[in-house]
Amino acid sequence: MKIFLDTASIESIKKFVDMGIVDGITTNPTLISREKGHPEDIMREIVKIVKGPVNLEVVATKTEEMVEEGLRLKKFGENVIVKVPMTSDGLKAVRKLDENKIKTNVTLIFSSNQALLAAKAGASYVSPFIGRLDDAGQEGMTVIKEIVQIFGNYGYSSEVLVASVRHPIHVIEAGKLGAHIVTLPPDILGKMMNHPLTDKGLALFLSDWEKVKKEHKYTI
Ligand code: G3P
């Protein structure tokens, strides 16, 4: 299962990339609006730091402008994936970008029907927003289950990128269902890493080792 980081924070990206646990990045206009600095500098910097796919979102809403913006974003680096919203103009842009050999990620997906259409249009990734579905009183993970099953039944090559993840249990559920990727805000990746028994266990090992050192006048 691949783990992407859902952030435009250079500091967070560097921190987790150094651990070797980040396969790619997703950004969106909201995430970029939270950072200081010029948006284009931020995007270029992320593309430089990360070896894997970096998803940069278009803000145009008409097909031709989306394609133009996508072609411009792609110039930031080979690893750029153009994120396009799930609209009829967006699907047409996906088709055109695909013809230009540019990979796309269709975002703002809230149903398995939308995911199916995005896959048919040629999206490399589809991004269902499960947390926002949960917030609206609809089981987000059911949509993941349906999409994974439909893509499997018909051999669609689009990868299911689980977005709007709210807690570590979402990650386990997505993994059990066979979703290809989860994209996580940095705090959730941090929560996945920590366990109080790990901290307690390490503290005990270290204090026991202090006793060994004292008893044997051992310095290591
Ligand atoms: O990348 C988009 C998605 O993950 C947004 O999540 O928390 O704004 O619903 P959220």
Is residue 200 one of the residues assigned to a domain?
Answer: no
Is residue 70 one of the residues assigned to a domain?
Answer: yes
Asked if 72 and 89 touch (Cβ cutoff 8 Å), the reply is: no
Is residue 60 one of the residues assigned to a domain?
Answer: yes
Is residue 107 one of the residues assigned to a domain?
Answer: yes
**Residue whose CA is at the smallest distance from ligand 1 atom 4:** 164
Q: Which atom of ligand 1 is nearest to the CA of 107?
A: 2
Is residue 206 one of the residues assigned to a domain?
Answer: no
Is residue 83 one of the residues assigned to a domain?
Answer: yes
Bridge partners (DSSP) of residue 128 are 109
Q: What are phi and psi of 54, to 5 degrees?
A: -120, 115
164 ligand 1 Cβ < 6 A: yes
125 ligand 1 Cβ < 6 A: no
Among 168, 176, 86, which residue's Cα sits nearest to residue 131?
A: 168
Distance from residue 208's CA to the centre of ligand 1 (Å): 44
Amino acid at 215: E
| pLDDT band, residue 124 (cuts 50/70/90) | very high
Q: For residue 165, what are the CA distances in angstroms to 31, 57, 71, 134, 181?
A: 14, 18, 29, 10, 11
**Percent of all residues in the chain with a pLDDT value above 70, rounded to a whole number:** 100
The tokens describing 214, both together, are: 């004292």
**Residue whose CA is at the smallest distance from ligand 1 atom 3:** 164
Is residue 149 one of the residues assigned to a domain?
Answer: yes
Count of the separate structural domains present in the chain: 1
pLDDT reported for residue 47: 98
Q: Return the C-alpha torsion angle 182, 184, 190, 192, nearest 10.
A: -30
Distance from residue 198's CA to the centre of ligand 1 (Å): 30
pLDDT reported for residue 219: 86
Catalytic annotation on 83?
yes
Range of the domain at 71: 2-192
Give the 3-state secondary structure of residue 137: coil
Is residue 95 one of the residues assigned to a domain?
Answer: yes
Distance from residue 96's CA to the centre of ligand 1 (Å): 26
pLDDT, tens digit, for every residue of 70-83?
999 999 999 999 99
Q: What is the CATH number of the domain that holds 131?
A: 3.20.20.70
pTM score, whole prediction:
0.95
